[in-house]
Structure 1
Amino acid sequence: MTSGPTPPAAAEPRPSAAGTTWVVAGLGNPGPWFRRTRHNAGFLVVDRLAERHGARFRLRGLGTRVAEIEVEGRRVVLAKPQWFINLSGRPVAGLLRRHGVPAERLLVVQDDLDFPFGAGRLKRGGGPGGHNGARSVTKALGTRDYVRLRFGVGRPPKGQTVGNFVLQEFSADEQAGLPVLLDRCAEAAETLVVRGLNRAQDALHAPAV
């Protein structure tokens, strides 16, 4: 049997032009009890992005805290849904509709058990990997064609459940390393918006020096 010509590989979307809007949504649980927990790594990254640009969050429709920044002429809407993490999809989808932003210009930031603490992965598409927040977003959008930044938190020690582990605060050693890691993730998000996914992946996945 002979095969036809090989179809060309799908092109990576071009970096967004000045004036283009992105949404960066961190996933987490609302309230002070969860603020520094592993499950709120997405909130922490988005908080760091806001801090870098002097932006403040305000409560908007569908119970979402929103701040807006500009990165080299690109408008970026930062979001922290104030629903519990496994219900994140509806407020994220509503925010995209409100601002007229397609799913391909959405970055979702989440914690991830499959990577050790300090490791980050940036990818478009793919399955939720057991993360209920990512599953909720994909279901609400009806597509996987958005970018996810997965912030590694590692696996729970033997004898501890996943639920207890992710709802605990980072250890003292981990908290000492958080500022550098959060900055690195924030920089990757900024690079994604301005220079595209490939450049952002290079920046995030490069070995630490």
Structure 2
Amino acid sequence: MQDPQTPQIDYVVVGLGNTGEAAASSRHNAGFLFCDYLSNCIHMQQHLLATGGSVDNPTLPTHPPRYVRRNDLGADINDTVFTIFPGETLASHSDVAIAKASKKQSAEPVSRTLRLLIVKPIWGMNDSGVAVRNVLLAYNIANPSKQLIVAFDDLNTLPGSIAIHTGTDLGAIRGHKGVESIVQHLGNSASEFIRFRLGIGRPHGDTKALQFVDASFQKENRELDLFGYALDLTAQALQYYFASNGDSKSTKKKFGKSKKLPLNKLQQVSVQIALARSLVVVPYSISADSALYLQMESLSFPFETVGV
């Protein structure tokens, strides 16, 4: 039974991938990379709030965010909190949603804090559904269709873009074994969860799809820059989804457009996110020559072993 003093889980964010050094920087691990990226973004926010700092004059946290390895559930879990502020990058829609949530018709919108589980299944991509089902049961998640968000790589979405889907029909992502496993183990009644598809595009020439997804992101053709943009775009979309109290339709309309990005847009994005995101690291070193290397330099997350 949950301690009545412990806040309920608001959302469960699952990233799909495979464990092990060989898979760490692969395209198929886009979901894991997003989990680490999101964990660091939130950890940085917590640090700035605790120290009174800002992105204009930041200091680095002294330690990275912590995942707890739950062998009994089959997942690495970062149990964390995220604060949504009125007007923070999301403008009017978020302010309206937050104002409604506060139930104060005449008051100014207030900030609110959400408790999140950031989850990486560790029993392999094809068995992701077992771990997800275990986590939902262990943490008493009552409404997976609203509270469960799954992020993963998608061949059918252009690099640098994201697609957002809900409902039980897998459609274009049929064949992604991780997502299929989740649908299989949750059943139709709980499988209308929101899906964030991080675009990796399709291979060129004679390269097979399996070989392509298992290979690492490359610096050629700005691929790593495009993936970095997709990470940031997904984080923005997730923030919007939270601020709108789980409005998947408006989130999809605003962010889920798969289109080719012009190079000047990428250069603009690089400048915009250079400060905040250069302080946000993910635990995989990909290429020192990449424009995103500062955001993706290597570090190891500490783990606390729990379970059996």
What TM-score, normalized to structure 1? Answer: 0.84
Question: What residue in structure 1 maps to residue 213 of structure 2?
Answer: 166
Question: What residue in structure 1 maps to residue 144 of structure 2?
Answer: 103
Offset at 1:75? 1.1
Offset at 1:76? 1.1
Contact preservation (8 Å) 1:38, 1:153? yes
SS in structure 1 at match of 2:38 = helix
Match of 2:19 among 22, 25, 30: 30
Question: What residue in structure 2 maps to residue 156 of structure 1?
Answer: 203
Aligned length: 192
SS in structure 2 at match of 1:88 = helix
The code of the aligned residue for 1:57 comes to: Y
Query: Which residues of 2 match residues 1-209 of structure 1 at below 5 A?
Result: 21-54=10-43, 55-60=65-70, 61-71=72-82, 72=84, 73-101=113-141, 102-104=143-145, 105-125=147-167, 126-127=169-170, 128-143=173-188, 144-172=191-219, 173-195=222-244, 196-205=247-256
Offset at 1:57? 1.5
Question: What residue in structure 2 maps to residue 9 of structure 1?
Answer: none
The code of the aligned residue for 2:81 comes to: E
SS in structure 2 at match of 1:111 = strand
Structure 1 segments, 4+ long, off by >6 Å, are none
Larger-gyration structure (1/2): 2
SS in structure 2 at match of 1:139 = helix
Measure, in 1, the Cα distance between the counterparts of 2:254 and 2:180. Answer: 26
Contact preservation (8 Å) 1:120, 1:152? yes
Please tell me the root mean square deviation across aligned C-alpha atoms, in Å: 1.9
Give me the identity figure in percent: 29
Rate the CA distance shift 1:194–1:98 in 2: closer, same or farther, 3 A: farther
| 1:125-161 superposed Cα distances (whole Å, 9 cap, x missing partner) | 2314211110000000002311100111111112111
Measure, in 2, the Cα distance between the counterparts of 1:49 and 1:56. Answer: 12
Offset at 1:19? 5.6
Offset at 1:69? 2.5
| 1:35-84 superposed Cα distances (whole Å, 9 cap, x missing partner) | 11110111111111100111321211322111022233221100000121
Structure having the higher strand fraction is 1
Measure, in 2, the Cα distance between the counterparts of 1:178 and 1:165. Answer: 15
What TM-score, normalized to structure 2? Answer: 0.59
Q: Quick check: 191-200 or 28-37, which moved more?
A: 191-200
Measure, in 2, the Cα distance between the counterparts of 1:46 and 1:31. Answer: 16
The code of the aligned residue for 1:103 comes to: P
Rate the CA distance shift 1:148–1:84 in 2: closer, same or farther, 3 A: same
| 1:22-45 superposed Cα distances (whole Å, 9 cap, x missing partner) | 101000011121111110111111
